[in-house]
Amino acid sequence: MTHRTLISAEELKALLDAEADILILDCAFDLAHPQNGPAVFETGHVPGARHAHLEHDLSGTPSGTNGRHPLPTREAFTAWLRGQGLTNGKQVVAYGGMGNAGAARAWWMLRWMGHAQVAVLDGGRDAWIAAGHELETGKAAEVLAEGDFTPGLPLVAGTVDADDVLANIDTHDAQVLDARDPARFRGEPSPNDVVSGHIPGAKNRFFQNNLNDDGTFRSAAELKADFEALLGDAPAILQCGSGVTACQNALAMEIAGIPGAFVYIGSWSEWTSDPARPIETGA
């Protein structure tokens, strides 16, 4: 059975017990302390997992004007995936903390590369522990054979850039949904933002609102009702601070049966790099 959005801890354990050919990516990352991700991984991870570092593996190089976490080139990401042993058709499972945002970024990127067999561990590492399953410590074992993964056509709607978002302010062709927390959206000062506020016309969809109290995703019906209330009939442009938690909203929309959202990868960190771009404050 192929998993393409979510996989439960019990389903993942069954795959491991059956010695299925899967690639598990631990996407633990601390936005405030980037060095903590590898340390958390070594402290304990799902057996057989490999660490996917948000800044080194799931991002390209910031230029100062392209956001904090720009996409790597497809060629660079292909090389990294092959280095993790990925082959065409292999099931990938990603998980992490912070509402599984880093895992959702990996999920979105693999679909961007045309790889359909990718899912996020529902509830992340905490769900694995809560189910009574053991963690593995230390660094990941080396992959002995490089994978032969070949990228294909994207399975996501794609990305938009700052010019597209700027034009959309006048055309209203799409609804921008901002995944940041409500305080940052309103314009209250935050150490993560050089300038406070939000893109004119945007609506706030805090990514944590997609989750239950235990960190698992809410039901498809609940998510569908929430997103339809925000979007109406308009397509979505998803953004956040730097193109990470926006991908968690993209995953939530996929679960809800509302595919086709565009992601503004540069997001607020790119938008505010040009003082000429307009900004709104308030709810």
Catalytic residues: 240
Show Cβ contacts of residue 248 under 8 Å, excluding neighbours closer than 6 positions. Answer: 99, 100, 101, 104, 105, 179, 207, 210
Q: Which of 244, 247, 239, 180 is nearest to 209 (CA)?
A: 180
Q: Which of 67, 80, 139 is nearest to 106 (CA)?
A: 80
Would strands 118-121 and 50-51 be described as parallel, antiparallel, or unpaired?
unpaired
Q: What angle in degrees, to the nearest 10, is found between the helix axes of 245-255 and 220-231?
A: 110
Cβ atoms of 25 and 93 within 8 Å: the answer is yes
Residue 204 to residue 207: CA distance in whole angstroms? 9
What six digits make up the tokens of 47?
Answer: 């057996």
